[in-house]
A and B are shown apart, each in its own frame.
Chain A
Amino acid sequence: MYQYNEVDQALVEQRVAQFRDQTRRFLDGNLTEDQFRPLRLMNGLYLQTHAPMLRIAIPYGLLSSEQLRMLAQITREYDKGYAHFTTRQNIQLNWPALERVPDILADLASVQMHAIQTSGNCIRNVTSDPLAGIAADELEDPRPYCEIIRQWSTLHPEFAFLPRKFKIAVSGASSDRAATQVHDIGLHLVQSSRGETGFEVLVGGGLGRTPIIGQVIRPFLEKKHLISYLEAILRVYNRLGRRDNKYRARIKITVRETGLDKFRELVEAEWIRIRGSMEVEVERYEEMRAYFSMPAYKEAAEPHQALQENQNQDAEFATWLRYNTTEHKVPGYSAVYLSLKAPDAPPGDITESQLDTVATLADQYSFGQVRTTHRQNLVLADVRQSELFDLWQKLVSLNLATPNIGTLHDMICCPGLDFCSLANAGSIEIAAEINKVFDDIDYLQDLGDIKINISGCMNGCGHQSVGHIGILGVDKKGVEWYQITLGGSSHNEAAIGKRLGPAVSKAKLVDTLSRILHVYTDNRTTDEPFLDTVNRIGIQPFKERVYANH
């Protein structure tokens, strides 16, 4: 993984010093709340219902065991012993004290971490594929490009006060595991007709109140122009994006109001002007690629034999293997998902002792690295198949082996009413109830791949608009109600879910879901996943069943 040099280290340390000074000036009354707000947000610090919330960057979701241990220590020392992984591969603390945030940042800097640009109207932490570098369907590892983008965007002097937040995601595989189509800029590594690798560039995707799928602004961008093209898009957006209404300020609205063709024309004019002076040299890519070279894999030594035996002997292990591991491009290895969706825990949460133990397991089984996923789970990416059984047993005792990746239980869920001052309705309790009611593992496995996404308000932190089933909390005269959508996706076939009908009350929510699932099982063809059935039969049959004598 990438290792800081002196410049990188100086930068994070100076950032800590700057923020320490800003916090002091705020506490001394020399910075007003209005002045401090954008400054603290640019360092990932929100002021929330109960306490501040600090979002820490995990660039493209990659962590070393040393970094995990530091996160464990920080949650112990400054928080209540647990943390929360977000949909953009970052991690959040819910209870730090404002005065101590500079100390947290200093501790983070000691392990090459920071909270820079994890919030605020600036270029956010760049995200990517959690299976980067190991996926069989990958054209090229996206992480070297992510790191180059991370550096370019970090404290970019021109783009720290954008009209609105700006998110970039990069994918190098044919299966989009990074939700690139719902990002302000999505980059796909693709091959040109001449066999050269470059980027397809998407612009104007985004979730929130007005969810929009990104559009292709440039089908093929030569690699050397990566940074100049991003810079051109940002410069045009910075000047053109609306600042009169924060709900119309994202680039998705700028592109829509300007028109894609006109927007592209503006971007390309700027790009042509600047690209000569901003080329990324081949050597720089090579140098960066070296940081992400393949670890020292061992020859596959008949792992399959033992694995088969273990599976035959232990049905639970076999189930876990099926749901929580995935193929690796190197024979004899698998990638393992650590489920942060145990039915008895809030989705995406992790305790300090789990963090510590995961670090140990990473050292023991996966070259000392862990990845975070967009769906709020963790991945040990390089596990020998011969060691899967051992690892599984340890994960079971950690409560990180619930065999539910990709099932109904693998929900994305925002903090909702429990932590968030903007919430209309609870979301964690809804997830808990869904877990409780749909607890028959055979039924879940029979249902297969169903993505339920839950948000407590229309800001959409829980990505409800791209859930196969989206659940959105709405407030009706002080009572919690839920609006349901069907057919959304942030994967290759990205789509915004369609509204099922009027919102349902909290009491009826689970019954409604149950009806939806019945319509699916009644109508599916053999092996047809939920999303395909919804797309084939449309929303009407679901509507009829749900609102019949409700």
Chain B
Amino acid sequence: MQIIRHAKIVSDHWTHVADGPIPSEGCISVSFARWKNQRTELLSRVDDLGLRVSSEDPIEEVTEDLDRFQMIGLDFPVFTDGRLFSVARTLRDHYGYQGEIRAMGGFIRDQIFFLSRVGVDSFEMEEGSDLDGALSALDDFSVSYQISSEVRN
């Protein structure tokens, strides 16, 4: 599928694995719970690994592992749940995480500007979304009062 990454529309190479078997090859992301349960097995894989976190997941428990993830997906249960905004900022500024931080799940286009300001650098929208519109939302504002954790390239 197509996503927005570093302010461009690109095709995505990640497979988000749910409960099924873990493929031995390819870039996959797993849920927080799965990571906690199958950490050793997942660490033995060679290909890129991503972690999906939801609002309630205590990221403080995986800080030692952060550099194992090439991507962290913030999986919004609903767009009004703003916890993941603070999670993104904490990942960038507190833990110095430099990999991809992706917004996914229930977020909406009108949040993209704010998300990018707290350090989210890729956006996986629902299939069929208006990606050009979403891309333009990155530039909703040319000015801001706050410090930024933005990563654009």
Contact = CB atoms under 8 A, between A and B. Distances in A.
A158 B89 contact: yes
A155 interface: yes
Contacts of B140: 14, 18
Nearest to A236: B86
Contact of B145 (A39, A152, A159): A152
A38 B144 contact: no
Interface residues of B, number: 30
B28 to A, nearest CB: 27
B153 interface: no
Contacts, number: 86
B141 A35 contact: no
Given A238-B82, A273-B94, A160 B141 contact: no
A235 B142 contact: no
Nearest to A153: B145
Interface string B83-94: 101110110011
A156 B146 contact: yes
A151 B93 CA distance: 21
Contact of B110 (A11, A15, A39, A152): A39
B46 interface: no
Contacts of B85: 157-161, 238
Contacts of A35: 79, 108, 110
A2 to B, nearest CB: 13
Contact of A239 (B87, B117, B142): B87
B11 to A, nearest CB: 25
B57 to A, nearest CB: 11
A11 to B, nearest CB: 5
A151 B147 CA distance: 12
Interface in A2-42: 7, 10-11, 14-15, 18, 22, 31, 35, 38-39
B74 interface: no
A11 B143 contact: yes
A473 B99 CA distance: 55
Given A157-B114, A157-B146, A238 B86 contact: yes
B118 A157 contact: yes
B141 A159 contact: no
Interface of A: 7, 10-11, 14-15, 18, 22, 31, 35, 38-39, 121, 151-152, 154-163, 235, 238-239, 243, 273-274, 277-278
Given A7-B143, A18-B110, A159-B82, 13 more contacts: A10-B141, A11-B145, A14-B140, A14-B142, A35-B79, A151-B145, A155-B114, A157-B114, A158-B86, A161-B82, A238-B86, A243-B83, A274-B93
6 contacts: A10-B141, A14-B143, A157-B146, A235-B90, A238-B82, A239-B87
Interface of B: 55, 79-83, 85-87, 89-90, 93-94, 108, 110-111, 113-115, 117-118, 140-148
